Amino acid sequence: MADARPSQLFRNKSAKIAAIPMIVTALFVFVGGTAWTIVYSFTKSGLLPRLKWVGLDQYERLWSTKRWIVSIENLMIYGLSMLVLVFVIGFILAALIDQKIRFENTIRTVILYPYALSFVVTGLVWQWILNPEFGIESIVRSWGWESFAFDPLYNADIAIFGVLIAGLWQGSGLVMVLMLAGLRGIDQEVWKAARVDGIPAWKTYIFIVIPMMRPVFITTLVLVVTGIVKIYDLIVAQTGGGPGISTEVPAKYVYDMMFQANNLGQGFAASTMMLLTVALVVIPWAFLEFGGSKKRG
């Protein structure tokens, strides 16, 4: 028999070898790429990266650019509205489908279907639907309501809500399916117990069922939030950022700066700001969620 305890480093060799490609990818692409981007955001890089330090100049320029400010505002408006509405709509749809209805599979498929489309298709479709010449507005006017006006994409003040409609149309199905899975996981006897206790259905949902669905909500939240932060293709396909700069978003700003305006340094600074924003949200949450787990056992 072996005299000494074998080294921990060499145990489970095959598993460790199999993990190496992913470890390398994570280290070089994600961590390395992020660090590289942050470093070069302090340089005066133009078409090509150059290590010519300019300190915080790129950030000062970024925060004095109207387009960036509008992008951030749009992301906030779109993000908060999307987050609240997609959860409300998705949950209500799931609760309705959970009432032992007929043709459940068909309805579920229909509602989930938009999620199978790419954002480019969704964007184009909703661009047409919201187009006053041949979309909803022209249909309602052809019915006789001549003064009807519904052209959000042509009004700079509300154009972002036109994008929001398309985003909700595409995203609600996924939330509904996740919520439905969560609802189905609730023990039917809990519902019975609540009925015997005389608790109305809406109260049972709010005080008993939704708290029981916390893990599903967290999964859904992560999916929805990442979808919001990286929104880019929907904007490009539906509005191209317009009218004017009224529907610009940070991801589009980064892309345009890096590959159209040949201003890498500015693009890096913008993407670093995006990273910082996400980190400010995620890190405190992660501490709350996982830091306390030792106490709970």
Partner 1 sequence: MNKSVEIKNLDLEFGAVKVLQNLNLDIGKGEFLVLLGSSGCGKSTLLNCIAGLLDVTAGQIHINDKNVTWAEPSERGIGMVFQSYALYPQMNVEGNLSFGLKNAKLPKDEIAKRIKRASEILQIEPLLKRKPAALSGGQRQRVAIGRALVRDVDVFLFDEPLSNLDAKLRADLRVEIKRLHQNLGNTMVYVTHDQIEAMTLADRIAIMRGGQIMQLDSPEEIYGRPVNKYVAGFIGSPSMNFLEGRIEGDVFLVGDLAIPLAGYEFASGNAVSGEASLGIRPEHVVTGELVGNAPFQIDIDVSLIEPTGSDTLVDCEVAGHPFRVRMDGQAKIKVGERLRLGLDLSKASLFDKTSELRL
- Least distance CB 106 / partner 1 (angstroms): 20
Our finding on whether 92 is near partner 1 (CB under 8 A) is no
Choosing from 133, 146, 157, 189, the residue that interacts with partner 1 (CB under 8 A) is 189
Interacting residue with partner 1 among 80, 193, 201, 279 (CB under 8 A): 193
Output the smallest distance, CB 215 to partner 1, in A. Answer: 12
CB under 8 A: which stretch of 72-80, 113-121, 146-154, 204-212 binds partner 1?
204-212
Binding to partner 1 by residue 198, rule CB under 8 A?
A: yes
Token pair recorded at residue 181: 């899975």
Interface segment toward partner 1; rule CB under 8 A; list 23-31, 44-52, 182-190, 286-294: 182-190
CB 264 within 8 A of CB 51: no
Angle of helix 66-97 versus helix 104-112 axis, rounded to 10: 180
Q: How far is CA 141 from the centre of its chain?
A: 35
CB 22 within 8 A of CB 30: no
Residue 292 within binding range of partner 1, rule CB under 8 A: no
Task: Tell me if 207 contacts partner 1 by CB under 8 A.
Answer: yes
- Is there a contact between 156 and 243 (Cβ–Cβ < 8 Å)? yes
Nearer to partner 1, 11 or 296 (CB): 296
Instruction: Spell out where 145-258 has E strands.
Output: none
**What is the nearest approach in angstroms of partner 1 to the Cβ of residue 271?**
40
| Interaction between residue 208 and partner 1 (CB under 8 A) | yes
Residue 197 interacts with partner 1 (CB under 8 A): yes or no = yes
Mark the segment that binds partner 1 (CB under 8 A) among 120-128, 131-139, 168-176, 184-192.
Answer: 184-192
- 58-63 long-range contacts (CB < 8 A, ≥24 apart) are 58/265, 58/266, 58/268, 58/269, 59/269, 59/273, 61/266, 61/269, 62/266, 62/269, 62/270, 62/273
Helix, strand, coil abundance in the chain, percent, nearest 5: 70, 0, 25
Q: Which DSSP letter does residue 197 get? A: T
Which pair of tokens denotes residue 157? 């003040």
CB 164 within 8 A of CB 253: no
Minimum CB separation of residue 33 from partner 1 in Å reads 41
Of the pair 21, 297, the CB lying nearest partner 1 is at 297
Q: Judged by CB under 8 A, which of 211, 260, 288, 290 binds partner 1?
A: 211
Q: Are 113 and 95 in contact (CB under 8 A)?
A: no
Residue 203 within binding range of partner 1, rule CB under 8 A: yes
Q: Is 176 exposed, middle or buried (0-12, 13-18, 19+ CB in 10 A)?
A: buried
By beta-carbon proximity to partner 1, the closer residue of 96 and 190 is 190
> Interacting stretch for partner 1, rule CB under 8 A, among 5-13, 57-65, 141-149, 185-193?
185-193
**The binder of partner 1 chosen from 38, 140, 156, 212 (CB under 8 A):** 212
Site residues for partner 1 per CB under 8 A = 187, 189-190, 192-200, 203, 207-208, 211-212
